[in-house]
Amino acid sequence: MLGSIEGPHDVKRLAVEELPRLAGEIRDLLVDSCARFGGHLGPNLGVVELTIAIHRVFDSPNDPVIWDTGHQSYVHKLLTGRQAGFEALKQEGGLSGYPSQAESEHDFVENSHASTALSYADGLAKAFKLRGDRERTAVAVIGDGALTGGMAWEALNNIAGIKDLPVVIVVNDNGRSYSPTIGGLASHLSSLRVTRRYEDMLEYVKDKLGNVPVIYDALHGFKKGVKDVLAPQAMFEDLGLKYVGPIDGHDEQAMEAALRKARAFRGPVIVHALTQKGRGYTPAENHDEDQFHSPGAFDRATGAEKPKPRIWTNVFSEELVRLGKEREDLVAITAAMLHPTGLNAFADAFPDRIYDVGIAEQHALTSAAGLALGGLHPVVAVYATFLNRAFDQLLMDVALHRLPVTVVLDRAGVTGDDGASHNGMWDLSILQVVPGLRIAVPRDGDRVTELLREAVEVSDGPTVLRFPKGPVAEPLESVGRLGEMDLLRAAEGEPDVLLVGVGPMTHICMEAAVLLDAQGISATVVDPRWVKPLDEALTLAASAHKLVAVVEDNGRVGGVGDAVARLLRDADVDVPVRTFGIPQEFLDHAKRAAILGRIGLTGQDLARQITEAVAKRTSRVEQPVRR
């Protein structure tokens, strides 16, 4: 049946009795595809019936459907004509793991950062009103975890302010964002989950005593009074938003009925759907950690994940626990990413010293500032791409007060599979402007432990430690020191090129140095370890070479390369500087190694480009002067 679905119009034509079969086929395909390469399986198993209902009620793309976050859009992709290629989900040339405008007119935004859908829907619905498109509705499907983000509540406040704004908000409430949803909102939604008994009671009494309106009205009033205490949907209604629910999100017909009522209202409506993450696949349902939120490749029959190599996150996780045992003032903060950032081990060891603030990076940084003001040393672990959302708080709430807060950026640089929005390619640029901030970039696992220890010893300002996604690099030992920098390779004879490798890019520099040697170009390789502020010894090292090449896993604009060039200019060191990094563009999803090859960040590419640069410079120097 799924093979006959080419778009939402085909979903609408199905008979009601055919829908369970469609749902079953979708779940089978989801499990088969994710078992092969991994993916966001659990969230999508939970929204099968909900998504079918949306496409039977609304008219996508005329009615835009915005997913928050976009990782729960796999079923939407299948119902909008993208079954071909789904077996290569998140693989190079295959479908993106998030909504993608390049893939389909049914994907309005490319969102993977949470808590944004309501703002998109607010703007779209206002545009419909102004343009006179009175039959169009903006639909936002927001996971309950995304409602822990402040931006979602800013949007709700604005949506509620226009009583005839055509917005339908579907709260996909599975009690989890990545891990169980936390905080006061989670408690409210948990209360709402228990109200079905009251809805059932009302229906039962209505059936039995339908001809006795006085008794029915009295019981209805009693039931409403009880619900006001136990089910605070008033949280939404007090904002001026019509509330429908809670609805069993796996009852397709109930979801359809609720959505049709919401659409007909022609004003802001919240439809509260209760779903189960991992629904229909036993290993996911029984997976305590995250219901197979985003597993790697796994055995379809058992759910057992295939063995994974030791990754950078593991090294950080283990060292933080060791530091926690040595220092009682060390506390940790995560933004709904306890396991992905490796803080789960710290939480197990020190349950009173870990704070999961939900999907609220801005709050995480300012809360960390408060903890530091209170005499503690917070370690905030987030994905590098998500630090973008908390820049102002790091700048004005942490750095301005010179507070000892350590920010650990996981998945820094090219991350690959999750696409443009997840590449952590901005931090080394935006953080350059923060006064008093120090940035450390380890090249291997040994340096993760070394630099993390140095970072938490800093007491007069914030520090940042960044490392990439994937298997941890093999140890690369230094052969000496230049100031506080590690000398990894000394040039033989007269030095030509100084290669400044930033963190794991030192391995590429070492490969390039060997290839340059074969071309008669002698190269020195250094690892600054701390790239902000840069070591003054770098100026002396640069002055002894003919060319400086900085290689970083970050956007080329405003990163470490620019900082090195500025340092040399300020010191009147007249040596050309070349920067090799990520081009300032949004990168299509692929494996990290494939992307690095595509953008020229390999040892061979580096050696070729430097050879050409040296040849051009030599040619200009040796060219005779014409008289």
Catalytic: which of 277, 466, 469, 556? 277
The residue to which tokens 């990413």 are assigned: 337
For β-strands 406-410 and 438-440, DSSP reports them as unpaired
Cα gap 219→201, rounded to integer Å? 9
Q: How many CB atoms lie within 10 A of CB 20?
A: 12
List beta partners, residue 551.
501, 580
For residues 487 and 478, the answer to whether their CB atoms sit within 8 Å is yes
* Collapsed DSSP state (helix, strand, coil) of residue 473: coil
Strand 138-143 with 242-248, pairing: unpaired
Q: Are strands 497-501 and 485-489 parallel, antiparallel or unpaired?
A: unpaired
Catalytic: which of 361, 411, 438, 469?
A: 361
For residue 142, the cross-strand partners are 68, 171
Euclidean distance between CA atoms 496 and 544, whole angstroms? 8
Contacts of 444 (CB under 8 A, 6+ apart): 472, 473, 474, 475, 476, 504
Task: Report the Cα–Cα distance between both ends of the chain, in Å, rounded.
Answer: 83
CA angle at 325 for the pair 321 and 331, rounded to the nearest 5°: 65
Residues 480 and 487 sit within 8 Å (Cβ to Cβ): yes
Determine the Cα–Cα distance for residues 124 and 162; give it in Å rounded to an integer.
13
b/e map of 108-135 (b: 16 or more CB within 10 Å)?
Answer: bbbbbbbbbbbbbbbebbbebeeeeeee
Is residue 361 annotated as part of the catalytic site, yes or no? Answer: yes
Residue tagged 């490319």 (tokens): 110
Catalytic residue among 82, 136, 242, 389: 389
Stated as kind and residue range, the H or E segment containing 246 is strand 242-248
- d(CA 42, CA 21) in angstroms, rounded, equals 19
Q: Are 98 and 73 in contact (CB under 8 A)?
A: yes
Measured CA to CA, the distance from residue 529 to residue 440 in angstroms comes to: 6
What is residue 131's DSSP assignment?
H
Q: Write out the binding residues.
A: 71, 112-114, 144-146, 174, 281, 361
DSSP single-letter state for residue 308: -
- For residues 545 and 25, give the distance between their C-alpha atoms in angstroms, rounded to a whole number: 64
Q: Is the peptide bond before 69 cis (omega within 30 degrees of 0)?
A: yes
3-state secondary structure of 73: coil
Helix 196-208 × helix 213-230 angle, to 10°? 180
Distance CA 26, CA 77 (A): 11
Residues of each annotated binding site for thiamine diphosphate: 71, 112-114, 145-146, 174, 281, 361
Q: What is the DSSP string of 297-363?
A: SB-TTT-PBPP---BHHHHHHHHHHHHHHH-TTEEEEESS-TTTTTTHHHHHH-GGGEEE--S-HHH
Distance between CA atoms of residues 400 and 415, nearest Å: 31
Instruction: Report the relative pairing of strands 497-501 and 523-527 from DSSP bridges.
Output: parallel
Q: How far is CA 521 from CA 303, 547, 576, in A?
A: 53, 11, 16
The contacts of residue 620 (CB under 8 Å, 6+ apart) are none
Q: 271 forms bridges with which residues in the sheet?
A: 170, 244
Active-site positions read 277, 361, 389
